[in-house]
Amino acid sequence: MSGSTTTQNDAFGASTPGDAPEDTPVINAVGGDWDSVTDEATALHEERIVVNMGPQHPSTHGVLRLILELDGETVTEARAGIGYLHTGIEKNMEFRTWTQGVTFCTRMDYVMPLFNEAAYCLAVEKVLGITDQIPERANVIRVMMMELNRITSHLVALATGGMEMGATTVMTIGFRERERILRIFEMVTGLRMNNSYIRPGGVAQDIPAGCIDAIREMMPLLRKGIGELEALLNENPILKGRTVDVGYLDLTGCIALGVTGPVLRSTGYPHDLRKSEPYCGYETYDFDVPTADTCDAYGRLRIRLDEMYQSMRIVEQAVQRLDDTPGPVMVADKKIAWPAQLAVGSDGQGNSLDHIREIMGESMESLIHHFKLVTEGFRVPPGQAYAAVESPKGELGCHVVSTGGTRPYRAHFRDPSFNNLQAVAAMSEGGAVADVIVAVASIDPVMGGVDR
C-alpha cells in the first residue's frame, strides 16, 4: 500500500484525470501508515459511518436491509430498505380465479398462512354476499386453525428473536413446540405450511378422523413446552438487560405510524379485532386480550407468551364445538362451492374414485358444471370489499375489487409487517447497534408479507 497513488478516474477506465470535466472531483488515494489515516480521522472529530445491515444478515429477521448511520456505537439514523423478495403475489392473483388466489396469498407471510387465506376469503365472501351463509362447522374450523397458527407464529418470533440475541436454547424449544402444531396442520390440510385450506365459502375439506383426539393429546405437551419458554425468559436477567426499555414506542407513536398487534398492545391499549370487529364467530368465544404498559421489547415478548395461552383457550373451546357441531364445511350454493372432496385416491393424489364415480354417475350436467367451476371458476358480482383479521402481528386486511368476472380485478393486502416496519427508526435511533436487532425482533416482521 505504501507509496502508491491512483485517481478515481483511473479506477473507472479514464486514461488520465484530464479526461473528466473540470468540475468533476478527483480523489487521490495515497498509501501510508494506518496511524496517519486514523490521526486524520480523529482530527476531523467525525466518527459517523453509514453501514448496511442486511439484506443478507443473520439478525435482520429475513431479507430486510437496514441502512444505519452510526456515531460510534450509537445509531443516529435508521431506515428500512424493503423490496428484496419482489414476489409479485398481488399482481399474479389478477390472472387466476378467485379460488386459485388462495394459493398465492397463503405464501405472503409464510409464518401465518392461514390468516392470509382467512382475510382474503372473508373479503371475497363479502362481495359475494354469503358471509352469513358460511356453515357453522367451517367457521369453528377456521377459528381453531387460525389460533393454532397464532401460536406457531409467536413461537417463531420468540425462537428467532432468541437466536438473534444468542439464546439458542430458546430457538430449539420454540421450534420443537411448533413442530407439534405443524403435524396437526399436515393431518388436516396435507401440508405443513402454505396450506391453501381456507377457501371462499368455507374450508377445503373437513378435519380427518382422529384429528380432535390428536389435538387433545397435544395440548398438555404444548402447554408444558410454552411453560419452559416462560421459565427461560420471563425473569432472565440477561434477557431483561437486552430488552427492558429497548425498542421504546409509546401509544402516540403507534397511532401515528399505524402500528398494530403486540407492539400496540405493549403500550397498554387493548386493541384486538377479534373483540372490536369480530369475525368467524369470535364474539362467542371466551378469551382475554393481554396488554403491557412498558412500550418496550420486553413487554412485547410477555404479550406473545400470554397470547399463546389465550389461543390455547380458544382452541380447546373450538375442539369441544366440533364434537357438538356436525354438518357441512362449504357453503350450500353449488355455483360457488368447490366441488372436489380432496380425498386421497389410490395413487396417493387427486380425488378418490368414489367421488369421481359420484360426479360421473349423476349426470352429464353435473360433470360439465364440475369442469367449468374448476377450470373457469365462479363469478363474483361487481363491487369491492375490505375484510380484516387480527393476525399474530396486527391488523391484516384484504381489499378485493371485482368487475363481475371469474378473476379479481385487484386484490391488495394491508400486511401488518409492512406498516410496523415504519417503527424501526423511532425504536432504534439514539440506541446502540445491538439494540436494533432487539427492536426488529420485537416487531417480528416477515418479509414475505412486506414484499407482496
Condensed to tens digits (0 to 9), the pLDDT of residues 4-48 reads: 433 333 333 333 444 445 665 655 545 555 455 456 555 655 566
Domain locations in the chain as residue ranges: 1-46, 89-336+378-450
C-alpha grid cell for residue 160? 428467532
Average pLDDT over residues 304-308: 93
- Please tell me the predicted confidence (pLDDT) of residue 355: 65
Quick check: 236 pLDDT over 80?
yes
Quick check: 285 pLDDT over 90?
yes
Question: Is 433 buried (19+), middle (13-18) or exposed (0-12) by CB count in 10 A?
Answer: middle
CATH superfamily entry for domain 89-336+378-450: Cytochrome-c3 Hydrogenase, chain B (1.10.645.10)
Average pLDDT over residues 176-198: 90
pTM of the model: 0.84
Query: How does pLDDT run across 90-116, given as a tens digit for each residue?
Result: 999 999 998 889 999 999 988 999 999
The crossing angle, in degrees rounded to 10, of helices 136-164 and 168-189 is 160
Q: Write down the mean pLDDT value for the chain.
A: 83
Average pLDDT over residues 405-416: 92
Confidence bin at 317 (pLDDT 50/70/90): very high
The tally of CA atoms less than 13 A away on the side-chain side of residue 75 is 26
- DSSP letters spanning 14-62: -SSGGGS-TTS---EEE---HHHHHHHHHHTT--EEEEEE-SS-TTSSS
Confidence bin at 289 (pLDDT 50/70/90): very high
Query: How does pLDDT run across 113-134, given as a tens digit for each residue?
Result: 999 999 999 999 999 998 898 9
Identity of the residue numbered 181: I
Structural contact between residues 163 and 171, judged by C-beta atoms closer than 8 angstroms:
yes
C-alpha grid cell for residue 409? 380485478
Quick check: 164 pLDDT over 60?
yes
- DSSP letters spanning 76-107: EEEEEE--SS---HHHHHTTS-TTTHHHHHTT
Q: In angstroms, rounded to a whole number, what is the distance separating the alpha carbons of residues 261 and 249? A: 13
Confidence bin at 189 (pLDDT 50/70/90): confident
- Please tell me the predicted confidence (pLDDT) of residue 87: 85
Query: How does pLDDT run across 250-262, given as a tens digit for each residue?
Result: 899 999 899 999 9
Least Cα distance to 147 among 51, 282, 265 occurs for 282
Q: In angstroms, rounded to a whole number, what is the distance separating the alpha carbons of residues 292 and 268? A: 5
Average pLDDT over residues 151-164: 91
Average pLDDT over residues 57-71: 81
